[in-house]
Structure 1
């Protein structure tokens, strides 16, 4: 799939990315190369191959779902830089 400078200009405008005019042609060649490589992946025979989420199959350990009292607040807050009434105090980020 070939991409030309006009397509790169249009996509850059839609993405609100400012690209100088002299950069459009090299970007078009680079993007065309990437799309050509992606098209090569379509040639790979994947029939009978199951999808993989990870290279190592590791089942999650199961634990009993037990209701607890939440632990000791003093232990939980022992590393907090600041706490008030058993709550973490964090800096205000929105006015």
Structure 2
């Protein structure tokens, strides 16, 4: 087990991460964090000399194809699935208000 972690240290880490916990949550999180750090201590004890780093869990390699557009003639079918359309395009709600006074 790693060295004992106290509530003050957990509170300090939480503040650094911009998190806030009440006393009840802090009491629950402190032993959990201590246990997690203990797992890293256990991992540091594992002998990894001569073990080649693994960069991927499989030997598969991404096979990329050339990216090229094709005409599918499915525009009307796609537009039928859209909840709202205008002038042959999918209409979506505005997310940025560019008006001078902030009114929509």
TM-score by length of 1: 0.65
How far is 1:35 from its partner? 0.2
Unaligned runs of at least 5 residues, structure 1: none
SS in 1 for 2:34: helix
Instruction: Report the aligned-residue RMSD.
Output: 2.7
Map residues 1-95 of structure 1 onto 2, 5 A cutoff: 1-14=3-16, 15-20=18-23, 22-46=24-48, 47-53=50-56, 55-66=57-68, 68=69, 71-72=72-73, 73-95=75-97
Query: Structure 1 pair 30/63, CA: closer, same or farther in 2 (3 Å)?
Result: closer
Q: Which runs of 5+ in 2 are unaligned?
A: 98-104
SS of corresponding position for 2:37: helix
